[in-house]
């Protein structure tokens, strides 16, 4: 191979590739795998690539590791079309006809598994998009794409530089911004009345949400924990908040 | 060290150990770490061990890897008191005064991250216990314990051999058994009316729930997916179902 595709145009793993082949095969430019993949499940994937007319190249394990920057590719790396990233204005334009929308904003989520997992959950539970800053979080690496199960290729992604400014832009467009954080005056998420247009801000377990962003939020909310553990993992918390929102505003 | 503790009496990782030190220090028999841990966060953990009177031994990295059967211990492995596992009868006795209870049953969850993650979520969202079969799922390894953030040491665990029989035992005690599965006659989890005593059965993504167990369930339920991806990860699904149950039956 002359030149490796850039890492932010790659996805990897059996599940993510399968999901893409089923739902967005036109996004796949090229699939890379090892020779002599005789496992049944992997053979079925190659047949599907053939059926969809997607070129497949056989490369060494070392090349796969090197392309993905990870050894958890399960022998499959796919070059996908350059992802489209929205800025806040173009995203708001995209959803301007919608009377209801929940958008997730991620602050300081550096763990790629959590990031990917949140993208998958957001897609499954009907979030309109996910906003994050490349300066304050993980980049969209192959590990993230794999954990997202395909969501990274079709969920609207709003990648920006200034999160605090974005909060205000959403608010100016009619959104209420909720910072999910355990503070003395946080409201109980289970009893909260969600606005039809909600920007839900999630921070990392260690770092939380930046004070600057918390200050701009319309409300602080948290989930009362019923046991001894202080908090859910952030991807689980995203699932719970999306469920609570959809219970009130679901289609 | 003469003899290593058995793997099912170990937990590992900074977060899990910290959680145990805060909430159940009496469960920790011994902490193993590497010499010369100078990182601030790790030093604070050692201070906490000292404060709680827990013996600490310094061993090599290789010993830690070997003890944990994993290299993701973050330099901390803890020997915990032998866990108490309930059988169905003794668990039902434990909760006989409760008018409301949701219990998770895991069928064929072999991924230790998912298993641990479900334990944590179950603990945070008020499940009364988790049932699984050692023959049809992951054992309670250090990887599971780490991912559970401490929940594996205090959440009631019902480890049994025959899941199908257990379904009937719960039903005889007044529980309704719900199999979470995407079948033509599955009911919408978002609109479902949860019984106060619910046994929620979760299967793995690949394998689902055994037909024998599905057949015994009182109802099949599923979560309508709003995007293209077929299903949530099982740990996320657990979070959503627990939220839906608690919205109706929460304390």
How are strands ordered across the β-sheet holding B85-86?
Answer: B85-86, B157-160, B129-133, B101-107, B197-203, B176-180, B219-222, B187-188
Kindly list the residues of chain B whose beta carbon comes within 8 Å of any beta carbon in chain A.
Answer: 19, 22-24, 117, 120-121, 123-126, 149-151, 154-155, 190, 223, 225-233, 235-236, 239-240, 243-244, 246-247, 250-251
Phi and psi (nearest 5°) for A242?
-65, -40
Decide: helix, strand or coil at residue A184.
Answer: coil
Q: Using CA atoms, how far apart are residues B69 and B71, in angstroms rounded to an integer?
A: 7
Which residues belong to CATH 3.30.1330.30 in chain A?
7-80
Neighbours of A59 (CB within 10 A): 16
Neighbours of B202 (CB within 10 A): 25
Which residues belong to CATH 3.40.1280.10 in chain B?
85-249
pLDDT, residue B95, reads 96
Q: Using CA atoms, how far apart are residues B216 and B234, in angstroms rounded to an integer?
A: 21
Q: Could you read off the pLDDT of B37-64 as tens digits, one per residue?
A: 566 778 889 999 999 999 999 999 999 9
Which residues in chain A have their CB less than 8 angstroms from residue B16's CB?
A: none
Please give the interface size between A and B, counted as residue pairs whose CB atoms are below 8 Å apart. Answer: 113
Q: Could you read off the pLDDT of A112-124 as tens digits, one per residue?
A: 999 999 999 999 9
Tell which residue, B102, B57, B135, has the closest CA to residue B239: B102
Q: Using CA atoms, how far apart are residues A163 and A101, in angstroms rounded to an integer?
A: 19
Which of B233, B244, B246 best tests the A interface by mutation, with the highest count of A CBs <10 A? B233
Q: What is the mean pLDDT of residues A169-178?
A: 98
Degrees to nearest 5, angle at CA A78 with A73 and A80? 140
Tell which residue, B247, B83, B51, has the closest CA to residue B159: B83
User: Which CATH topology does B7-80 take?
Assistant: 60s Ribosomal Protein L30; Chain: A; (3.30.1330)
List the structure tokens of A81: 């079309």
Distances (CA, A) of A220 to A184, A199, B246: 10, 12, 21
Calculate the CA B52 to chain-centre distance: 26
Calculate the CA B80 to chain-centre distance: 16
List the structure tokens of A140: 């969209």
A40, pLDDT greater than 90 = no
Decide: helix, strand or coil at residue B127.
Answer: coil
- Give me chain A's average pLDDT, please: 92
**CATH code for the part of the protein at B85-249:** 3.40.1280.10
ipTM of the complex: 0.91
Which of left, alpha, beta for B55 (phi over 0: left; psi -120 to 50: alpha)? beta
Instruction: Assess contact for A119 and A151: CB atoms under 8 A.
Output: yes
Tell which residue, A8, A201, A217, has the closest CA to residue A108: A201
Place of tokens 């608010």: A171
Q: Could you read off the pLDDT of B156-208 as tens digits, one per residue?
A: 999 999 999 999 999 999 999 999 998 889 999 999 999 999 999 999 877 88
Instruction: Assess contact for A104 and A130: CB atoms under 8 A.
Output: yes
A190:B246 CB<8 A: yes
Which residues in chain A have their CB less than 8 angstroms from residue B124's CB?
A: 223, 225-227, 229, 231-232, 236
pLDDT, residue A60, reads 92
Band (pLDDT 50/70/90 cuts) for residue A43 is confident
**In B24-162, which ranges are continuous DSSP H helix?**
40-51, 61-68, 88-94, 112-124, 142-147, 151-154
B236:A120 CB<8 A: yes
Q: What is the mean pLDDT of residues B105-134?
A: 96
Distances (CA, A) of A121 to A126, A156, A248: 8, 13, 18
């Amino acid at each position: 191979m002359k030149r490796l595709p850039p890492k932010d145009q790659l996805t990897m793993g059996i599940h993510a590739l399968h999901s893409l082949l089923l739902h967005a095969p036109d996004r796949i430019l090229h699939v890379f795998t090892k020779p002599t993949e005789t496992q049944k499940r992997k053979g079925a994937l190659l047949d599907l690539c053939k059926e969809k007319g997607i070129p497949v190249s056989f490369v060494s394990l070392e090349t796969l590791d090197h392309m993905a920057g990870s050894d958890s590719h399960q022998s499959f790396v796919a070059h996908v079309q350059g992802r489209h990233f929205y800025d806040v204005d173009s995203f708001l334009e995209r959803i301007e006809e919608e009377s209801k929308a929940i958008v997730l904003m991620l602050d300081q989520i550096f763990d790629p598994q959590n990031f990917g997992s949140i993208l998958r959950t957001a897609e499954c539970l009907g979030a309109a998009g996910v906003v994050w800053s490349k300066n304050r979080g993980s980049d969209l690496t192959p590990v993230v794409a794999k954990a997202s199960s395909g969501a990274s290729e079709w969920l609207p992604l709003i990648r920006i530089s200034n999160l605090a400014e974005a909060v205000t832009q959403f608010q100016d467009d009619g959104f209420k911004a909720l910072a999910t954080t355990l503070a003395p005056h946080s409201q109980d998420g289970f009893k909260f009345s969600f606005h039809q247009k909600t920007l839900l801000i999630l921070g990392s377990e260690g770092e939380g949400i930046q004070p600057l962003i918390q200050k701009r939020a319309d409300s602080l909310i948290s989930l009362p924990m019923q046991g001894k553990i202080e908090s859910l993992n952030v991807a689980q918390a995203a699932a719970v908040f999306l469920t609570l929102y959809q219970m009130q505003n679901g289609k």
